[in-house]
Amino acid sequence: MKWLKVSLVIQIILAVYVQAILWFPLGSWNDQPGKRLITLLREGQASAELGFVLAMLLPVLLFALAIWKRWVWLMWVGLIGYGIWAVLEIQSWWIPWIFGADQRALNNQKFLQRTYKIFPSSIGHPAPDGMHFVLNLLLFFVVMTIALGLLENRRGAVIEGKP
Q: Percent of the chain beyond pLDDT 70?
A: 95
Assess whether pLDDT exceeds 70 at residue 37.
yes
Residue 98 gets which letter from DSSP? H
Query: Could you tell me where the beta strands, DSSP code E, fall in the chain?
Result: none
When mean pLDDT is compared across 62-71, 88-97, 147-156, the lowest value belongs to: 147-156
Count of structural domains, the chain: 1
Tell me the whole-structure pTM to 2 decimals.
0.88
Q: Which residues contact 23 (CB under 8 A, 6 or more apart)?
A: 36, 37, 38, 53
38-55 confidence digits (pLDDT tens): 888 888 877 777 788 888
How high is the pLDDT of residue 131?
95
Q: Percent of the chain beyond pLDDT 90?
A: 58
Q: 72 or 155: whose pLDDT is higher?
A: 72
Do the Cβ atoms of 75 and 83 come closer than 8 Å?
no
Question: Which residues constitute the domain of residue 122?
Answer: 2-159
Task: Count other Cβ atoms within 10 Å, centred on residue 5.
Answer: 12
81-100 confidence digits (pLDDT tens): 999 999 999 999 999 999 99
Phi-psi label, residue 102: left if phi above 0, alpha if psi -120 to 50, beta otherwise: beta
